[in-house]
Chain A
Amino acid sequence: MERLSEHELLLNMGPQHPSTHGVLRVVLKLDGEVVTGAVPDVGYLHRGVEKLAENRTYPQFVILTDRNDYLAAMLNNWGYCLSVEKLLKVEIPQRAEFLRVITGELDRIASHLVFIGTFGLDLGAFTPFLYAFGREREMVLDLFEQLCGARLTYSYVRIGGVSHDVPEGWIEKAKKFIVHMRGCLKEYDDLLSYNPIFLDRTKGIGVLSASKAVAYGLTGPNLRASGVKSDLRELDPYGVYSQFEFDVPTGEKGDCWDRYMMRRHEIEQSCRIVEQALDRLPAGDIMGKVPKVNLRPPAGESYAQIEGARGWLGYYVISDGGTSPYRLHVRAPSFINLAVMGEILKGWKVADAVAILGSIDIVLGEVDR
C-alpha cells in the first residue's frame, strides 16, 4: 500500500471474524470511520481442489464438489455432473432430472435461509437467525437426510442421475414444508424485511450500478439486484427447467436491501418450482446408462453452467480419455463476486462494510476452492 496520510488507519478485518462468513481477510484503510480503501485477501481456505481433481476419478470428484459451496451442495454436484455428462453424451432419465430440480431448488431455499439468518445476525437481529437457520432450514436438512443420508455434503447428484430414490412419504413431507415455508416468509417480512432499523442499515448502502455489476462479472442475485434481469434457468435453461413457470425478480437500486430482497423473493419462486416439480414427478429410473467402474469420458472438453445459489456456477472439464480429468476448473461465483469488494466498500463506514460484505453472500469454500 502507498504511504498513509496522518489521519488514515489500516484496520485488519481479519480472517477470524464472526461477520466475514468464513476465513476472509479484508484490509481496510480508514479515515476516521469512513473506509477509503479495501483490499480483500483470500486463500485461507484454499485446498487445491482443482489439482486434486487430476488425481481422482470422475465419480470420486463429486464428493469434492460438495465442499466447494457447502451451503448449496446439491447445486455444486449438479454443475459438475452436467459437465461430465456433456462429455459422455449420456441421457438422464426424466425422474432423475425432476429430482435434481426438486433437490436443487430446496437447496437454494436452504442457502438463502442461511443468508437471511446470518445477514440479520451481522446487523444485530437475533430472532430471524433462529427462525430461518434453526427452524426452516432444519426442516430442509431433515428432508435431505431422509433422502440421501447427509445434511450438508450430499453427493446426491451423481454422473448419470441421482443416487437415491425418494422414500415413502417424502413427497408429502416436502409439500407440507413448502406450505409452511410460504407462511414463514410473511413472518420474515414482519420481523426483518421492513423493520425500520434494518431498512436504515441496508437501504441505500453499498449501491452497485448495473454497468459496474456487469463489468465485474457479477452474477446471480447480486446482478439481479442491480436491475439486470438475468437468470440462467430462464434464459439458457438446462435440465428440465423450461417446463416450469416462475418469475425472475429484479431490484432497482442495487443496494444491500435489494440484494436481500432478491434472495427472499427467490425463496418464493423456488417454492413454486418445487411444488410444480413434486406434482409432476414422473416414474422411472434414477440413473442413466453410465459404467459403474472405470468411467472414461471420451477425450475432449466441456463447460456446463448452472444458476447456483450465488451466481453462475460453471465447471470446465478437459478429458484425455483416462479415468481422471486432465484439467478441471471451477468457475466459482463467489470468487468473482468478491472481486467487487475493493470497489464497492469505498466511501462507506465500517459498520456498513459488514452489511455490504454480508449482502454479497459469499461462501469461502467456493472462493478459495
Chain B
Amino acid sequence: MKENRFELVYYFQKSSVPSEKFFLKADLPRDAEPKAPSLALLFEAADWQEREIFDLFGISFTGHPDLRRILLWEGYPGWPLRKDYVHTPDRYDSGSEIGLPKATP
C-alpha cells in the first residue's frame, strides 16, 4: 500500500439481527513479517478467514490454533495478494513442462 501499512478490516454482524453491524479497522506496519493477534479462539468463524489472510498476505496471527496456508499449497513462494508480489515462474506458467508449444511473443 502507498502509505506503507496493512489495514485489517474486521466486520462484525449479529447473526440473528443482521441489521446490527459494525466495522473495525486495525493498522499494521508493512514489515516483512507482520503480526496481529488472533481472534480465532473467541470467534470460530475467524479461524479460516485468518488462515486465508495469512495465505494471501503473509500476516501471521499469534495465538491461532492452526495457522497454515489454506487456498494455496504448502511451500508456495510469496504472498500473492500483496501489491509488491512478483510471481516466480512455476511449472504452470509456460506449459513447456508438459510439452505444450511455447507461446509466440
Contact = CB atoms under 8 A, between A and B. Distances in A.
Interface of A: 42-43, 46, 48, 50-51, 212-219, 223, 228-230, 232, 235-236, 303, 305, 312, 314, 316, 331, 335-336, 338-340, 343, 368-369
Given A43-B70, A48-B80, A336-B45, A228 B15 contact: yes
A230 B80 contact: no
A331 B49 CA distance: 9
Given A43-B70, A48-B80, A316-B9, A230 B15 contact: yes
Given A214-B16, A228-B16, A236-B18, A336 B44 contact: no
Interface in B31-82: 43-45, 47-49, 52, 56, 69-73, 80-81
A339 B9 CA distance: 20
Interface residues of B, number: 24
A335 B13 CA distance: 17
Given A42-B71, A46-B71, A368-B71, A235 B45 contact: no
Contacts of A331: 11
Task: Specify which of B43, B44, B69, B73 lies most central, judged by the most chain A CB atoms within 10 Å of its CB.
Answer: B44
Nearest to A339: B48
A336 B47 CA distance: 9
Nearest to A237: B19
A58 B71 CA distance: 25
A228 B16 CA distance: 6
A316 B16 CA distance: 21
Nearest to A229: B16
A215 B17 contact: no
Contacts of A51: 80-81
Given A216-B44, A223-B15, 7 more contacts: A235-B17, A236-B18, A303-B23, A312-B13, A314-B11, A339-B45, A343-B44
